[in-house]
Amino acid sequence: MIVSLGGVFMKFNSNHFPLIIFGLLLSVFMTVNGSQAVAQQPSGEEMPVHAVTMDFYSANEAYFSPDGKSLIMQARRDSLEVDYHTYVVSVDGFTYRRVNGKGHDACSYFFPDGERLIWTSTKDNLNTAEGDFSSPEDYPSGAELYVSDLLGGNIKRITNNDLYDAEVSVSPDGQRVLFGRRTDGSMDLWRMRTDGSEEMQITHTAELQEGGAFYMPDSETIIYRAWKKEDEGGRGMPMTIFTIKHDGTENKVITDDPGLNWAPHPSPDGKHFVYVRMVGRGNFEVFLMNIESGKKVQVTNNPAFDGYPSFAPDGKTIAFGSTRDTPPGQRRLVIYTMDISKFLK
């Protein structure tokens, strides 16, 4: 079945292929745990999951639309699609559309008006060094930020430099774009207006690599993760989650343990966030944390890799990427959804 909307909506086919590369942390997981079994079962309490992108070659970093009906992500539809591109997929997994088909895409996000998208791509810098979004020392220098409508039309490029600009999101009030920029080997958080004006650097730390940032519901506080440069390349590289005001003040440590804590995403009420911790020997699981009390709850419980969680607008559902249905030896991520309302009580 093919669903057509301007030639961009289609019904999924049933082609399953391995994911070649999707990130540094999955490499750690595979190194520590070796090949995985097919359809691994939860090793402890876990709520039911729904697979969204089972018929994609690979998909990663999925974020909900304001109405909760779709997810935007970077994906490879099939084996012929060599690079990752930006896709919008319905949460039931039945329809999708490709937003951009040129260059290599990374992080993407919906505007709160539900009518625009922002995404990262190398589409205008195809002659620059290819780089690797999964390697901190080799990020694509030609990665720029683009705004478009839901169909990938009316594209406007809002950055123009030879730097790495990615890890992008939008403030809940729709006024600002938040992103990561790498200059002289250092990653920092930046913000700007949605038209690309009024760029402002938020963090100025030589020893930390900041990124993966999102605005909290107040559109002033930012939650993000960071690691120390001196720890790069090590197995189980420690990461810490922080909050900071978007003017660069009130930088606070949120996770105070020495482990690997990364990929935070805030709940719509601002009281919680989901994130990823490494549990035991190289097992990445999704956790929920109450910001005020510091209480942590493990919400995935599976020997496979679980990561890149995000909250839906209903405040009860999350999306995340997992290798739990990946054939042995493959690095294929599938996007799943889960109702975690039980853990919010």
Give the ranges where the chain is alpha helix by DSSP (H): 24-33
C-alpha 167 chain-centroid distance: 8
pTM of the model: 0.88
Cβ(97)–Cβ(8) under 8 Å? yes
Domain assignment of residue 4, yes or no:
no
Tell me, what's the pLDDT at 179?
98
Domain assignment of residue 228, yes or no:
yes
Q: What tens digit of pLDDT does each residue of 57-85 get?
A: 999 999 999 999 999 999 999 888 889 99
Coil, helix or strand for 130?
coil
Tell me, what's the pLDDT at 305?
94
C-alpha 74 chain-centroid distance: 9
Cα separation, 243 vs 46, whole angstroms: 28
Domain assignment of residue 89, yes or no:
yes
Taking the alpha carbons of 198, 203, 208, 214 in that order, is the dihedral positive or negative? Answer: negative
CATH no. for residue 167? 2.120.10.30
Domain assignment of residue 3, yes or no:
no
Residues in the chain: 345
Domain assignment of residue 81, yes or no:
yes
Q: What helix, strand, coil percent values describe the chain, rounded to 5?
A: 5, 40, 55
Cβ(95)–Cβ(89) under 8 Å? yes
Domain assignment of residue 207, yes or no:
yes
Tell me, what's the pLDDT at 233?
73
Mean of the per-residue pLDDT values of the chain: 86
Specify the range with the lowest mean pLDDT, choosing from 48-52, 220-224, 263-267, 324-328: 324-328
Nearest to 219 by CA among 254, 252, 177, 255: 177
Q: What tens digit of pLDDT does each residue of 17-62 get?
A: 222 223 444 444 444 444 443 445 555 679 999 999 999 999 999 9
Q: What are phi and psi of 46, to 5 degrees?
A: -155, 140
Cα separation, 130 vs 259, whole angstroms: 32
Cα separation, 195 vs 146, whole angstroms: 10
Domain assignment of residue 137, yes or no:
yes
Count the domains in the chain.
1
Domain assignment of residue 109, yes or no:
yes
pLDDT at 185 over 50: yes
Tokens 């996770």, residue located: 255
Q: What are phi and psi of 342, to 5 degrees?
A: -60, -35
CB neighbours of residue 328 within 10 Å: 9
Cβ(197)–Cβ(178) under 8 Å? no
Q: Strands 208-215, 200-201: parallel, antiparallel or unpaired by DSSP?
A: unpaired
* Residue 154 belongs to domain spanning: 9-344
The residue type of 72 is I
